[in-house]
Chain A
Amino acid sequence: MRWVLRGLKKGILTTKYPKKRPSYDEVPEIGIPMPKVADIESARKYCPTNAISDTIDVSKCIFCGKCEEYGFKRSRNVEFAEVRKSLPFSRSIHIFVVDVGSCNACNMELEMLNNPFYDFHRLGFFFTPTPRHADVLLVIGYPTDRMIDALLEAYDAMPEPKIVVAAGTCALSGGIFEEGKGGLERYVEVDVKIPGCPPPPIALLHGLLKARGGLSK
């Protein structure tokens, strides 16, 4: 009974996203760095993952803050998901998560989607414990040698239609661990890319909504 009263007292915490823009509380300046009055040459030289060229390669940026020393400013924009193929569904989709060598931060951000602030069930997303029920294979982490077989097995076990979502810089390009080999795309075709190190929940929501095709309709 006391739990119920507490819940009522607390009120509604859930974000208005995607109907409204994320508030400052949800996304402060943690987004992609933007050159304002910047010393781009030095920034390019010292960027640990060579993410800076004429534009900033979001799939390589590890959000370390090094370029802020050279006049870059962090923006509040985290919605950078890139979609090649989306699912032909418009309602609920089920997600199977495979961790192929993450640092635990991506796992935690995915857990955070369950919390009352984001509550991604309201948008029709569910984590599923088996690939047989899954529409989306969500892969996080830097692909390690021993996890590749397990990843491909999970992919083969999924029914059609299916898409692969790679979340986090490690999965997209290898990030800081990369040694000229690249990320997940060596092994499976990636349909949706969600950058971020780790991608904040709003970025994950944005990527998943795009994967479902919900935003375009």
Chain B
Amino acid sequence: MIHGNVEEAIKETSEYELAEMAKDKKLTLTAYFRKDELDIYIWTDYNSGKTQFTYVNNSEFDLGTLRPIYYALCGNMDAYLMECPNGVVELHYGPVTSGLWEAGAFRILTYGERILNVVPELGYKYRGVEDKMVGRRIEEAVFLIERMCGTNSVAYSTALCKAVEGNNTPDRAEYIRVIALELERLYNHFRVIQRLAMAASQKVATSHFSALVEEVLRLNAKLFKHRYIFGLNIPGGIRRNIDTDILLRKLDDIEKEFEELIDLLLNSRIFIDRIHNTAVLSKDDVLRLDAVGVTAKGSGVERDVRTFDSFYSETPFSVALQHSGDSLARMVVRVEEIRNSIEIIRHLANEMPQTALKSDNKADGFRYGRVEAPQGDVLVVVEAKDDILKWVGIRPSSLINYVAFAHAVRGNIFTDFPFAIESFGLSFAEADR
């Protein structure tokens, strides 16, 4: 949970300096927002953990040639479209599809079985969350941001709350927030493994893993009175206390069950054959496309905002890295993260301090908050005054990783498509907001 003041950190740059920054391989382009005639570029150095803010006044500078992710951040997905040569078919898949997929479409260029290019088409789920948050009281805005992406609700609401409350959150609130974040990571990762097993028609493994997802959701419901932990965060702290006995007891069961299942699944050759060498994303691709989270970690790039978070340094947190960059690597990263999350939750539940749950601290001004969501880090930038939001910018992790996915799936054949997309764990609701 990184947070800070934007106004103190922001610097004006010329277009030349901006281009120099874009050429610097150490910096990652995290976000781009347009606010009152200003173009705000946000950069992250994942080695030192420093977030840099720069702005350019009234420019029409096209950063996309240096940083392809710029187009996605502008909402210009068409920039990734390729020319459709003779004999190549453009397939439009979505938005209403079979099964329980989200409303989102893909434009797929295909030649026979081979996928030449994929461009996700956003906008079907656009609910205008950022616009609707403006002018609301912060407490109500938290309800809105939770319902932007239900499966990452704690990550977004924590980022928003950290942005507006500053430093003095009570300890117990911080502990419970991190427990909620890690529980969210657990069920999201279980779900990704379940969907990978489903794509490989491993019916028994699918049932076992979806039972595991349900176990975590039921645990959430008992602890937080909501299966997806909506309504936990309020600016200044949290709303509910939790019972750590139930948590610890259930966590032991979940861990035991998971270890047995993952042992069986990773020894299933039929399953491994399907995800090994599927949708390979090389280390250079990650650096070029500024991918984040599990996607980057699967390709051997350490990008996790928890590494430079002082709160996590006191917990048994460690970064899981894999180097092959295929669907299997991303799944193994998830397996390691599940084990690590269980350890973190256990550590925090045992050391929980007895303090108040909320304080009345409010930090006005132009501020930001960053949290590592299950699929990658998310950023929320807000301008608040007297408990009312004046401006909101949200950078979802799925938006970035859709571009990485579209690159990784090129050259694969159609039957690999579900394995590719499930291994990234993407959500249209999050990318579209």
Contacts and interface: CB of A to CB of B under 8 A. Distances in A.
Interface of A: 2-4, 6-7, 10, 13, 25-30, 48, 62-66, 68-69, 74, 97-112, 114-117, 127, 129-130, 141-142, 144, 146-147, 150-151, 153-154, 170, 175-177, 179, 197-198, 200
A25 B227 CA distance: 12
B191 interface: yes
Contacts of B98: 129-130
A108 B139 CA distance: 26
Contacts of B207: 115-116
B257 to A, nearest CB: 9
A27 B364 CA distance: 40
- What 7 A-B pairs come out closest when comparing CB atoms? A105-B150, A129-B98, A115-B210, A103-B150, A65-B231, A104-B429, A99-B103
B125 A144 contact: yes
B427 interface: yes
B124 A30 contact: no
16 contacts: A28-B221, A65-B225, A65-B226, A98-B103, A99-B100, A100-B103, A104-B429, A105-B151, A111-B210, A144-B124, A144-B125, A146-B126, A176-B140, A177-B127, A177-B129, A179-B132
A200 B191 CA distance: 17
B147 A103 contact: yes
Interface in B196-252: 204-205, 207-208, 210-211, 213-214, 217-218, 221-222, 225-228, 230-231, 239-240
Contacts of B102: 99, 102, 104, 107
Contacts of A27: 221
Interface of B: 95-96, 98-103, 123-127, 129, 132, 139-140, 143-144, 147-151, 153, 191, 204-205, 207-208, 210-211, 213-214, 217-218, 221-222, 225-228, 230-231, 239-240, 260-261, 264, 427-430
B211 A116 contact: yes
Contacts of B148: 103
Contact of B228 (A102, A153, A198): A198
B239 A111 contact: no
Given A102-B102, A116-B210, A129-B98, 13 more contacts: A30-B226, A63-B226, A99-B103, A101-B127, A102-B429, A103-B150, A106-B150, A111-B210, A115-B211, A146-B124, A147-B124, A150-B103, A151-B96
A194 B260 CA distance: 37
A73 to B, nearest CB: 11
B126 A144 contact: yes
A30 B140 contact: no
A47 to B, nearest CB: 10
A45 to B, nearest CB: 12
Given A29-B225, A127-B100, A176-B147, A117 B124 contact: no
Given A102-B429, A105-B150, A117 B214 contact: yes
A16 B427 CA distance: 33
A3 B227 contact: no
Nearest to A114: B210
Contacts of A110: 100
B228 A107 contact: no
A63 B230 CA distance: 8
Nearest to A24: B222
B147 A30 contact: no
B385 to A, nearest CB: 20
Contact of B100 (A30, A69, A111): A111
A19 B213 CA distance: 25
Contacts of B221: 27-28, 30, 200
Contacts of A63: 226, 230-231
Contacts of B123: 146
Contacts of A175: 147
B218 A26 contact: yes
A104 to B, nearest CB: 4
Given A101-B127, A103-B429, A115-B214, A64 B100 contact: no
Contacts of B127: 101, 142, 144, 177
Nearest to B268: A3
B240 A65 contact: yes
A208 B100 CA distance: 17
A208 to B, nearest CB: 15
Given A101-B103, A101-B127, A3 B205 contact: yes
Nearest to A99: B103
Contact of B99 (A69, A116, A129, A179): A129
Given A48-B140, A104-B102, A146-B126, A28 B96 contact: no
A122 B196 CA distance: 25
Nearest to B98: A129
B103 A62 contact: no
A26 B227 CA distance: 11
A209 to B, nearest CB: 20
Contact of B225 (A28, A98, A170): A28
A10 B422 CA distance: 27
